[in-house]
Amino acid sequence: MEESPEPPASAAPTKPLNVGQTGTYGLMETDEYGENPKPATTMQVTVKGAEYVTPADVDTTNKPKLGQYVRLTLTVKNVGQKEGEFSGYGMIKWENKGTAAQDATTLEGVGTGPELDTTYKPGQAVTGSLVLDVGAKGGTLSYWDEDTGTDEPAFTVTLPTS
């Protein structure tokens, strides 16, 4: 049986995702010289929850540098036909109307629950949480993955205001 070709990598979702919504984004692969990009696989992300938490809630004495911790729960799934990676650390930025994009990733909460950061074979999924440091309630979180082949975030999440 001939393997069906991978569908073209889709651009990032056109609008930010809210809790309960799902979006997809495509990952590209290049040759050994980092050139000639072609579609590799498609990843799907579902925003399961976004809850503002205190340092005690995430079992730390560290205060958030930007001002507020948020526990973002996602389901990441490979809906394509080749392996694909998800790596959140250093790749998620928070911003709002008054604040330019800031790195929101932390090491808080690491080791509790399933790891989202891994390589996904076709059909595999993980539901897990990231503890992020945001400047205030509200705003958006954007996930930047250089393997999308675009200058846009792979997906963006709108945070609740309370």
User: Over 80: is that where the pLDDT of 133 sits?
Assistant: yes
CA-to-CA distance for 145 and 67, rounded, in angstroms? 25
Q: Domains of the chain, with CATH numbers?
A: 22-158 (2.60.40.1240)
Structure-token pair, residue 142: 């954007």
CA-based nearest residue to 131, from 85, 94, 99, 97: 94
CA-to-CA distance for 70 and 131, rounded, in angstroms? 6
36-66, pLDDT tens digit by residue? 888 889 999 999 999 999 999 999 999 999 9
The percentage of the chain sitting over the pLDDT mark of 70, rounded to a whole number, equals: 91
149: left (phi over 0), alpha (psi -120 to 50) or beta: left
SS3 55: coil
- Structure confidence at residue 9 as a pLDDT band (50, 70, 90): very low
User: Over 90: is that where the pLDDT of 92 sits?
Assistant: yes
pTM for this entry: 0.87
| Burial (0-12, 13-18, 19+ Cβ within 10 Å), 113 | middle
Distances (CA, A) of 118 to 56, 87, 127, 139, 162: 27, 7, 12, 27, 31
CA-to-CA distance for 11 and 38, rounded, in angstroms? 13
